[in-house]
Amino acid sequence: MSEQDRISLLRQELHAHNHAYYVLNAPTISDREFDALMVELAELEARHPELADPNSPTQRVGSDLSNDFPTFEHRRPMLSLANTYNRQDVADFFNRVREGLGGEDFEICCELKFDGLSISLHYEHGRLVRAVTRGDGVRGDDVTPNVRTIRSIPLQLEPGSWPDEFEIRGEVLMPWTSFERLNREREQREEPLFANPRNAASGTLKSKTTAVVAERRLDAYLYYLLTDDPAPDAAHYELLQQARQWGFKVSTDMRKCSTLDEVMAYIDHWDEARRSLPVATDGIVLKVNSLRQQRALGLTAKSPRWAIAYKFQAEQQSTVLREVTFQVGRTGVVTPVANMDAVQLSGTVVRRATLHNADFMRQLDLHQGDHVLVEKGGEIIPKIVGVDEAFAGLPRGPRIEFAKVCPECGTPLVQADGEAAIYCPNDLRCPPQIKGRIEHFVSRRAMGIDSLGPETIDDFFRAGLIHDVADLYDITPDQINGRDGTRQKSAQRAIAGIAASRDVPFERVLFALGIRFVGETAARTLARHFGDIDTLAAASLDDLLRVDGIGLATAQSLHSWFADADNAMLIERLRSHGLQMSISGEAEAARSTRLEGKTVVISGVFERHSRDEYKRLIELHGGVNAGSISRKTSFVLAGANMGPAKLEKAQKLGVPLISESDFLAMTGEA
């Protein structure tokens, strides 16, 4: 078998395994076997760049390229549904349909209303060619590169009788497990939490870095199929059953109902049962099943007459606010927490709720002893939504004010201009900040010292063994094996874990330092751009702002952090302990300064070198790689099949296109 045939076969197999795992929930091979096939395919594709295919399974993992989200006009407008929270409105809708059809029999397809971001997927010859958000209903954002990372969306359809060209619409979602994990990580980094999975999914799908989208593990359910020439007797429910056979993830909880009582029974069932679903839902969608009858009923200016959405009421309870306490995080940000009388909410007992920040507290105008209304944002995060007006006539206690000094160390709190967060500036001596930074440093995604948990770090801190992250590398087994030596094994594991962390790559070391606003993606970008800690530390504010993806807040935070003498001393101590302070495998010596001061964007497929090799050549000749075209772009290194969005933007901004051969001549690499 030729390598070309093997690539084709592997792609077919991996698409089938993806479908079995992510759509059918019935994997046919182990993760290890799947990974081995993926590695083989990636190696073959690397040897044959001429066979590059954006729909290959290897392209789902995402890259560091930025997308500019060109808009695309919908062939058929994406209308919003009329919403109701009232069962009488559901009955009125049912009766309007009956009257509109002149008494003709009809069926209502009842389906769950998934709480995510609407998406329109376009397929040609069985292959995904475009993914567009709802936008304003007429035009949406083309987010195809990001959607390709969602494993439940087929890139190549299963064999079947699908039309040669069609559109299928659905909802991009963030499952509860992904949402909880994401918010835990954001909380550890003291970044604002997403209020619900819908906001998280929307923010993720609009990310300019496909690697972020892939990492957050979005999901998608498809709920409406559109073709140019449907059969005269085509019906919505039956079309979706066909779509499932082609490889689309379609809910198995759809039901056809012939009477209003059946519709109400479906609503009653899912008002409770939805709480056990793996994704967020916020209601029920009712659609006339027959496409012929849909056309007969027609549309209003904003919504179809043949469909309506019934929205579930958010569960809300009243309880008494006893006090507000203040928590200090690892970067010093102080978060107010409401402590309330226990109340049952969505199946759990709630006693505490975050109040986010001082602005949020002022908006609520909270007083001690107030009766407050509590609900769960996204049905998982308890939040106070207001004061219960039913108790408005009662005397109120004193107004609750935000803390003026740090509750842990007594330092006066500060607030930066333009920021909602209030924080303790005593980062070197405030215990929660010290311990929080160390916990972040040892975490799995940073230095990966799994043998040290929060309790162990607290023990070490109380014993005076650690005051910063560099102290970890001075610990000896005798100091932590217990007074009688009974903790010898755990001490050995801890010391071994600390020693192994010396091999952690530079980009993770940079993330582990816990610099405000520097998450994993920013750390990776900075490490690859500057190459080593010294070059990064010496960078000016303008140097930092020239890095693609680094904004003003991050640049200012970095500049201030490296200007601090204590942080400079910390870096030297970590360096003396052998931590990686540069990209592993020392960077090659610069070959020239021919591209110095130039920012280059790479787009397309090349013959002489891979894209990664061209990125390396740009850096070796003094240039800067960027993922998206802007007014700062000096030129685009343009290969075959350059993306139409990048081509259009380059032309609009007057950015020149340089061919592969001209680039090699320009750099002396020809």
Q: Give the Cα-Cα-Cα angle 547, 548, 554 (nearest 5 degrees).
A: 65
pTM (whole model) above 0.75: no
If DSSP codes are grouped into helix, strand and coil, which group holds residue 287? Answer: strand
Mean pLDDT, range 36-50, rounded to an integer: 83
> Which two structure tokens, joined as six digits, stand for 494?
């801890």
Task: Check the CA dihedral 452-454-456-460 and report its sign.
Answer: positive
d(CA 434, CA 332): 9
> What is the residue-wise DSSP string for 253-272?
T-EEESSHHHHHHHHHHHHH
Query: pLDDT tens digits for 190-225?
Result: 666 776 788 888 888 888 778 788 888 899 999 999
Mean pLDDT, range 219-238, rounded to an integer: 92
d(CA 79, CA 285): 14
- The predicted pLDDT at position 475 comes to 95
Asked whether the predicted pLDDT for residue 242 surpasses 80, the reply is: yes
If DSSP codes are grouped into helix, strand and coil, which group holds residue 390? Answer: helix
- Helix, strand, coil: what percent of the chain each, to 5? 40, 20, 40
- The predicted pLDDT at position 64 comes to 39
Structural domains of the chain sorted by starting position, each given as residue range(s) with its CATH number in brackets: 3-61 (1.10.287.610), 73-311 (3.30.470.30), 316-391 (2.40.50.140), 431-503 (1.10.150.20), 506-576 (1.10.150.20), 599-667 (3.40.50.10190)
Query: pLDDT tens digits for 406-434?
Result: 999 999 999 977 777 899 999 889 999 99
> Which two structure tokens, joined as six digits, stand for 559?
């500049």
Tell me if 387 sits within 8 A of 378, measured CB to CB.
Answer: no
Residue labelled with tokens 């059953």: 241
d(CA 146, CA 567): 37
d(CA 452, CA 460): 10
- The predicted pLDDT at position 590 comes to 63
Q: pLDDT above 70 covers what percent of the chain?
A: 92
Query: pLDDT tens digits for 352-399?
Result: 988 888 888 888 899 999 999 998 755 566 888 889 999 988 899 999
| Catalytic residue positions, numbered | 113
- The predicted pLDDT at position 525 comes to 85
- The predicted pLDDT at position 23 comes to 59
Lowest mean pLDDT among 323-337, 375-389, 533-547: 375-389
Give the type of residue at 336.
P
pLDDT range class, residue 276, cuts 50, 70, 90: confident
Tell me if 113 sits within 8 A of 198, measured CB to CB.
Answer: no
Mean pLDDT, range 471-486, rounded to an integer: 86
pLDDT range class, residue 60, cuts 50, 70, 90: low
Backbone angles phi, psi at 117, to 5 degrees: -115, 125
Residue labelled with tokens 């010396």: 502
Query: pLDDT tens digits for 111-154?
Result: 999 989 999 999 999 999 999 998 878 888 899 999 999 999 99
- The predicted pLDDT at position 24 comes to 57
Residue labelled with tokens 């606010």: 321
Tell me if 337 sits within 8 A of 352, measured CB to CB.
Answer: yes
d(CA 466, CA 574): 14
Mean pLDDT, range 599-622, rounded to an integer: 81
- The predicted pLDDT at position 65 comes to 37
Question: Which residues pair with residue 290 across a beta bridge?
Answer: 235
Q: CA distances (Å), 494 to each of 479, 501, 570, 595, in order? A: 11, 11, 21, 47
Find, among 72, 241, 282, 57, the residue nearest to 154 by Cα: 57
Q: CA distances (Å), 575 to each of 42, 427, 468, 560, 562, in order? A: 36, 22, 14, 20, 15
Backbone angles phi, psi at 509, to 5 degrees: -60, -45
pLDDT range class, residue 586, cuts 50, 70, 90: very low
- The predicted pLDDT at position 63 comes to 44
Asked whether the predicted pLDDT for residue 587 surpasses 50, the reply is: no
Kindly give the residue spans of alpha helices, DSSP state H, lying in 257-332: 260-273, 291-297
Lowest mean pLDDT among 61-75, 242-256, 290-304, 616-630: 61-75
Give the type of residue at 496.
A
- pLDDT higher at 189 or 163: 163
Q: pLDDT above 90 covers what percent of the chain?
A: 47
d(CA 639, CA 49): 12
d(CA 137, CA 79): 6
Mean pLDDT, range 589-597, rounded to an integer: 78
Query: pLDDT tens digits for 483-532?
Result: 766 778 889 999 999 999 999 999 899 999 999 889 887 888 899 889 99
Tell me if 465 sits within 8 A of 480, measured CB to CB.
Answer: yes
